[in-house]
Structure 1
Amino acid sequence: MTTPPAERAFDLRHLQLARALFAALAAAMITFSSDHSAVLGLSVFSGFVLATGLTLALSAWLVFPAGQRAVPVTLAAVSFAAGLVASVGVWRTTGMFFGVVITWAIVSGVIELVGALRDRSAGRTAGVRDGMLIGILGIVLGAVLLLTPMQYALDYSITGAGSFTLTGITIAVGLFGGYAAVVAVFLAIAGFSPRRTEPVPAVPSEEAAS
């Protein structure tokens, strides 16, 4: 007779809610800031990915069993690398914002999407749908930023408010803020949703008889 594995103190729900919290903070900082410069964008981005990376690294041992840790560990490594690059003050330029955020978004998106597809093919259901969605959102963010011209500038005026300039970096930082807001909403919904029990493999008749 085998002893059932002990329940973990932390599970996928805690990881989803932690990631949702960091994404919500990033979205709020960008939304409520009038400065959508590369400096502000990279400051928020670096904090977001470093916090997310730390959460993923811890979850590899606190949440995921052996054999399922490759994706969170790889995502954590990619997030740490992007966060460290973005945290260097003298590198916080428009070109760096586009380069590091596009690279991180596409690479992490592909990793998360492929990991979710592999889990689904292995018969696992927990977090698969959300992993696929977050992976696709990351790839879409990278693709949209690739289509956003860095040197774009549009002068416009609002009666009674003055003249303004809409630039490529303003659009890009806003797009990252929008991405973070969507991720926060979906992961929060996933974290608070009722859990479905994973299917238990059938025990061979010989083992059951013994």
Structure 2
Amino acid sequence: MPAPSRPFTARHVQLSRALMAAVAAIMITFSPDHSAAVGLSVFGGFAIVTAFVLILSAIIVYPSGQRWPAVMMGAFTLVLGMAASVPTWRSDVLFFVLVIIWAALTGLVELIAGIRSRPAEGSRDAITVGALGLLLALLLLIVPVDLVQHYVVDDTEFTLTGIVLGVGLFGGYAAIVAVFLGIAGLTPRAKHEIESDAGAQRLADHGGNA
């Protein structure tokens, strides 16, 4: 008798992460305020919900030997998201510190997991998203936190600051990840990927019944 299909699969994990990233990107894009308070608020909400998706996926999607990336990324993301959600801690420096640490840690874990799991389904997606996380961390490291740059457009003076750039970079990262994971989650699977997923389900069921 064939095993029943799971209501929550690796594709659903990708789509859930894409949705959270899309919400974060939209909130930042359409907000006129790119301050640390707004940036950390958006990042905190994005991180906490994403962490629950990752932890849930480790429990019900992946077999025991493949759970470590989701567990590690979920743990890092949850802790840093909770820190970002404390209103009295919010500052320009904290935004850069938390997002750089999060992007570097989760990006590295996902990149390594993708490389180690090649050529399994989702390995290229993991490598790409992991690399994007490391790129975000690098770009944020380059931006001076105390940057203040005045410029004039059509006789109107504007001020560009480090935190505006930082929040904008996170929003851009979230938008790219949302599109990429959304496409990956909706792309029809090849026959060998379906068979691989069925095998992973059997392993997970066996591990859960042991």
Give TM-score, length-normalised by structure 1: 0.88
Out of 143, 165, 175, the residue aligned to residue 148 of structure 1 is 143
The structure number with the bigger radius of gyration is 1
Q: Percent identity between the aligned chains?
A: 49
Q: Which residue of 1 aligns with 2:91?
A: 93
- The one-letter amino acid paired with 1:177 is G
Are 1:157 and 2:152 counterparts? yes
Q: Which residue of 1 aligns with 2:167?
A: 173
TM-aligned CA deviation for residue 118 of structure 1? 1.2
TM-aligned CA deviation for residue 125 of structure 1? 1.5
TM-aligned CA deviation for residue 14 of structure 1? 0.6
Give TM-score, length-normalised by structure 2: 0.88
- The one-letter amino acid paired with 1:57 is I
Separation (CA, whole Å) in 2 of partners of 1:4 and 1:140: 43
Q: Which residue of 1 aligns with 2:117?
A: 119
Q: Which residue of 1 aligns with 2:126?
A: 131
Cα deviation code 1:4-55 (max 9, x no counterpart) = 5443222111111100000000000000011010110000000111110000
Separation (CA, whole Å) in 2 of partners of 1:179 and 1:9: 29
Paired residue secondary structure (1:67): helix
Structure 2 regions of 5+ residues with no counterpart?
Answer: 200-210
Aligned residues between the structures: 195
- The one-letter amino acid paired with 1:172 is G
TM-aligned CA deviation for residue 131 of structure 1? 0.3
- The one-letter amino acid paired with 2:150 is D
- The one-letter amino acid paired with 1:176 is F
Structure 1 regions of 5+ residues with no counterpart?
Answer: 202-210
Out of 27, 41, 48, the residue aligned to residue 50 of structure 1 is 48
Q: Which residue of 2 aligns with 1:16?
A: 14
Q: Which residue of 1 aligns with 2:27?
A: 29
Q: Which residue of 1 aligns with 2:185?
A: 191
Separation (CA, whole Å) in 1 of partners of 2:89 and 2:134: 24
Cα deviation code 1:80-106 (max 9, x no counterpart) = 011011011111100000100000000
